[in-house]
Amino acid sequence: MKALYYVDEYNVKNYTHLYKFLISFILLVIVLTGFSTMVWYLEKDVNPKLDTLSESFWYGHAVVTTIGFGDVTPITEVAKWFTIVSSIFGIVLLVSMGQSLNDFLFGHTDTGVLNRELRALLEINNALNQQNAELNEEIARTNLLSIEGNDAIISLLKEGANT
């Protein structure tokens, strides 16, 4: 019955990683769309390479995914700052997506569950060691009493033989 509990917990955790991946993907699309639109708005009149929205999306994709082909660069200061910020967001979101996808596909061990199980096993081991020590002490006392009893019997037999 305990194995089913862990299987259920694992499945819930797996779907949690899938949800994290989807949320990261949605955030990446929002950042890409917002960034591309803002750069297009800032650069459409001054930069001939970013005069269409599709060119701006091409540039936004290259920046957010940190590929950076270099074929398009912003001219205005504000667009340059948006490029820096969006590349940082892109790095964070892509790493988050990759980690969530990896955890979903290949499984992720919850160290908290393992640590609790390990602590429980260690407690059981310590309790068994304590019981073992107590039993060893009891056996030693019994052996000592047995030896003392044997010595007393031998003494009585010797006294009886002498009389």
Q: Indicate whether 136 and 73 sit together in one domain.
A: no
Q: Indicate whether 50 and 121 sit together in one domain.
A: no
Q: Indicate whether 129 and 63 sit together in one domain.
A: no
Confidence band for 3, pLDDT divided at 50, 70 and 90:
very low
Q: Which of 66, 83, 108 is the last residue of a domain?
A: 108
Q: Write the CA distances from 32 to 38, 56, 58, integer angstroms.
A: 10, 10, 10
CATH of the domain at 22: 1.10.287.70
Candidates 35, 1, 27; CA nearest to 97 is: 27
Q: Indicate whether 101 and 113 sit together in one domain.
A: no
Q: Indicate whether 49 and 101 sit together in one domain.
A: yes
Q: Which of 85, 108, 131 is the last residue of a domain?
A: 108
Q: Indicate whether 67 and 18 sit together in one domain.
A: yes
Q: Indicate whether 49 and 120 sit together in one domain.
A: no
- Domain region containing 101: 1-108
When pLDDT is averaged across residues 52-70 and rounded to a whole number, the result is: 88
Residues 6 or more apart whose Cβ sits within 8 Å of residue 119? none
For 70-78, which contacts have Cβ atoms below 8 Å and span 24 or more sequence positions? 72/47, 73/49, 74/39, 74/42, 74/43, 74/47, 74/50, 75/43, 75/46, 75/47, 76/42, 76/43, 76/46, 76/47, 78/42
Confidence band for 80, pLDDT divided at 50, 70 and 90:
very high
Q: What percent of the chain has pLDDT over 90?
A: 27
Q: Indicate whether 83 and 148 sit together in one domain.
A: no
Q: Indicate whether 99 and 117 sit together in one domain.
A: no
Q: Indicate whether 59 and 77 sit together in one domain.
A: yes
Q: Which of 63, 92, 108 is the last residue of a domain?
A: 108
Q: Indicate whether 53 and 131 sit together in one domain.
A: no
| C-beta separation of 63 from 73 below 8 A | no
pTM of the model: 0.56
Tens of pLDDT, residue by residue over 105-145, are 776 555 566 677 778 888 888 889 999 999 888 888 787 77
Q: Indicate whether 118 and 40 sit together in one domain.
A: no
